[in-house]
């Protein structure tokens, strides 16, 4: 039984080593960096969309407040003229507008909270992204792949001849 367990562990260790070798951590890290950058861009686009929406809500809110003042003035005119039927119509529009204005204020508050949350999320993502970028930069500076042709291409035949002649001369003198 112990032998089977040990063989199983050995097999798992070898399999994990093969997978680690295949995965190439620097490539995976760079892919994670690209995915995180994309995620930040999506979050920033979402934030901009929310900011546009809140401006639209603010514009609608300003229009509703203007209507509210107009309806209030119309109501004053109707009451001064003692026209109750017309005053009822204006009051209906006034109440509908108050409801609309209240809804707009609630939406504005909710959107403001959503924007704060989105900004907090983006700040976290940017911190994580910066940390990951530092890891990638560290990996790029510490891991330089060995290429056997790089040194051979830079050494010329003339340099070899010069070193050969110097070595022959040094050995004759000694």
Look at residue 43 and tell me if it is in a domain.
yes
Residue 33 lies in a domain: yes
Is residue 156, in this structure, part of any structural domain at all? no
**38 is a domain residue:** yes
In a domain, 152, yes or no: no
Task: Tell me if 155 is assigned to some domain.
Answer: no
Contacts within 8 Å (CB) and 24+ apart, 140-143? 140/26, 143/26
The answer as to whether 58 is a domain residue is yes
pLDDT 10s digits, 6-53: 777 777 777 766 666 666 767 777 788 889 899 999 999 999 999 999
For the stretch 38-61, what's the b/e string if a residue is b when 16 or more beta carbons lie within 10 angstroms of its beta carbon?
eebeebeeebeebeeebeebeebb
What would the pLDDT profile of 108-158 be if each residue is shown by its tens digit?
Answer: 999 999 999 999 999 999 999 898 888 878 777 654 443 444 444 577 888
CB 71 within 8 A of CB 93: yes
Q: Give me the CATH number covering residue 137.
A: 1.10.287
Q: Count the domains in the chain.
A: 1
Q: By the 8 A CB rule, do 27 and 143 touch?
A: no
Q: Is residue 167 assigned to a domain?
A: no
Range of the domain at 136: 2-142
* pTM beyond cutoff 0.75: no
Give the SS3 label for residue 145. coil
């Amino acid at each position: 039984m112990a032998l089977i367990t040990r063989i199983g562990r050995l097999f798992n260790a070898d399999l994990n080593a093969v997978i680690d070798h295949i995965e190439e951590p620097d490539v995976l890290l760079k892919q994670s960096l690209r995915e995180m950058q994309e995620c930040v861009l999506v979050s920033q686009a979402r934030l901009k969309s929310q900011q546009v929406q809140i401006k639209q809500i603010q514009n609608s809110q300003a229009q509703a407040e203007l209507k509210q003042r107009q309806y209030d003035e119309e109501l004053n005119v109707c009451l001064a003229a003692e026209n109750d039927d017309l005053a009822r119509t204006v009051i209906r529009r006034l109440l509908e507008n108050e409801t609309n204005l209240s809804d707009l204020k609630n939406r504005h508050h909710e959107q403001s909270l959503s924007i704060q949350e989105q900004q907090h999320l983006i700040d976290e993502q940017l911190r994580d992204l910066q940390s990951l970028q530092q890891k990638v930069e560290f990996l790029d500076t510490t891991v330089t792949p060995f290429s056997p042709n790089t040194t051979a291409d830079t050494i010329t035949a003339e340099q070899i001849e010069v070193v050969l002649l110097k070595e022959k001369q040094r050995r004759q003198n000694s």
